[in-house]
Amino acid sequence: MTGEPGGKAEQMRARAEEMKDLAKRTSDPDERKGLSDQARRLKEQSDKESG
What does the pLDDT read at residue 5?
60
Q: CA angle, corner 12, sides to 32 and 51, nearest 5?
A: 125
pLDDT (tens digit per residue) in 1-51: 455 566 888 999 999 999 999 999 999 999 999 999 999 999 999 888 877
What does the pLDDT read at residue 3?
53
What does the pLDDT read at residue 33?
96
What does the pLDDT read at residue 8?
87
